[in-house]
Homo-oligomer: A and B are copies of this chain.
Amino acid sequence: MIPSEQVDGSRPTTLSDVAQTAGVSVATASKALNGRPDVSAATRRRVLDVAELLSFAPNEIARNLASGRTGTVGLLTSDLDGRFVLPVLMGAEDALGAGQVSVLLCDARGDAIREQHHLRALLSRRVDGIIVVGASTNARVSLGQNLPVPVVYVYAPSSSDADLSLTPDNVGGGRLAVEHLVTIGRRRIAHISGDSSYQAARDRSTGALAALADAGLELVGDPLFSTWSEHWGRDAAGLLLSAHPDVDAIVCGSDQIARGVIDTLRDLGRTVPDDIAVVGFDNWEVLATNSRPELTSIDPNLQALGRAGARAIFESIDLGSVSPGLRKMPPRLVIRGSSVSRR
């Protein structure tokens, strides 16, 4: 329900309104409402009742001015339309919103100038902390170590290891994919990925190769790198199959690529997963669950990443600081029909 104070269009009830009609001082009213111990049960009850009656809502602005903390954190993202920042953002909003803190959202649109602008705005608003969410897992420049509030970098790590960064473990993800395929008996495994200028592409590839080596296997052909698109997946699968018709599994650098790959495999009359198993990356639900068959994929756990980021901010506020460094968060394997046949 909407507080009735607003119904009559008059100015919002203030603490002193409450105090006055409860017959106490503002100080006492404040203590009562904030659950401070040094108030008699009777007066507390009375103040609470009056506050309820007047549907008093404390002015956070004033409260902040007095207390020094604003109960807001800035969320500085560089690419709001990215499908990756979103889950992160949700996780953060989740962990923060559960408490009393609100989120100030800023989208720099990948523009450094705009980012500085937003940074200043956040600082002026005296946020208690800042979460920087990048659009790719490539490292980004630091906001600097001398900010008056804690900063944590999520998804895209800071290029400075004096900062705290949380990013998905892409190497581990690559391993996971191959280990799964080896487990289900595949031995002739190929790799099709996206733009090799992305750290993510290189890391996933590194992980996959490492896992292959551990299993005493070698990659079938060279890894194929190009763009993060279905088109490339389709083309690459064609290239791969004509060069190495005997592959029995393909690790893809993204779900988009995987969908393209599956598309071509069907066109070529190869069945997935019986003939060739396919593993995607990102676990992007819309893509993964709508393909035929549905996509086994590596889920980078972005929401957990966001939550961890928010928690790191809290820690940093409480403890005064937090140990910096790059923390890689473990991904998880989501098995669907493209690697294990289902009936």
Chain A residues close to B by CB (< 8 Å): 1-3, 6-7, 9, 12, 57-62, 64-65, 70, 72, 75, 80-81, 83, 86-87, 89-90, 93-94, 97, 100, 102-107, 116, 118-126, 143-144, 146-148, 229-231, 234, 256, 259-260, 263, 286-287, 290-292
Q: A286 touching B256 by the CB < 8 A rule?
A: yes
Q: A144 touching B2 by the CB < 8 A rule?
A: yes
- With CB as the reference atom, state the residue of chain B lying closest to A63: B124
User: CB within 8 A of A70: which of B2, B12, B61, B230?
Assistant: B61
Minimum C-beta distance from A65 to chain B (A)? 5
Separation of A175 and B113 alpha carbons in the complex (Å)? 42
Q: A146 touching B290 by the CB < 8 A rule?
A: no
Separation of A1 and B106 alpha carbons in the complex (Å)? 18
Q: B105 touching A60 by the CB < 8 A rule?
A: no
Q: Which residues of B contact A116 (CB under 8 A)?
A: 1
Q: Which residues of B contact A60 (CB under 8 A)?
A: 121, 124-126
User: CB within 8 A of A125: which of B65, B102, B263, B291?
Assistant: B102
Q: Which residues of B contact A286 (CB under 8 A)?
A: 83, 256, 287
Q: B65 touching A146 by the CB < 8 A rule?
A: no
Separation of A260 and B329 alpha carbons in the complex (Å)? 35
Q: Which residues of B contact A9 (CB under 8 A)?
A: 146, 148
User: CB within 8 A of A90: which of B62, B80, B83, B143?
Assistant: B80
Minimum C-beta distance from A150 to chain B (A)? 13
Separation of A97 and B118 alpha carbons in the complex (Å)? 8
Minimum C-beta distance from A85 to chain B (A)? 10
- With CB as the reference atom, state the residue of chain B lying closest to A93: B107
Would you give 28 A-B contacts (Cβ < 8 Å), ordered by A?
A: A1-B116, A2-B119, A2-B144, A3-B120, A6-B147, A6-B148, A7-B146, A12-B148, A57-B120, A57-B124, A59-B126, A60-B121, A60-B126, A61-B61, A61-B64, A75-B105, A80-B86, A93-B106, A94-B107, A97-B107, A97-B118, A102-B105, A102-B106, A102-B122, A102-B125, A104-B105, A229-B290, A259-B290
- With CB as the reference atom, state the residue of chain B lying closest to A62: B65
Minimum C-beta distance from A122 to chain B (A)? 8
Minimum C-beta distance from A40 to chain B (A)? 27
Minimum C-beta distance from A218 to chain B (A)? 31
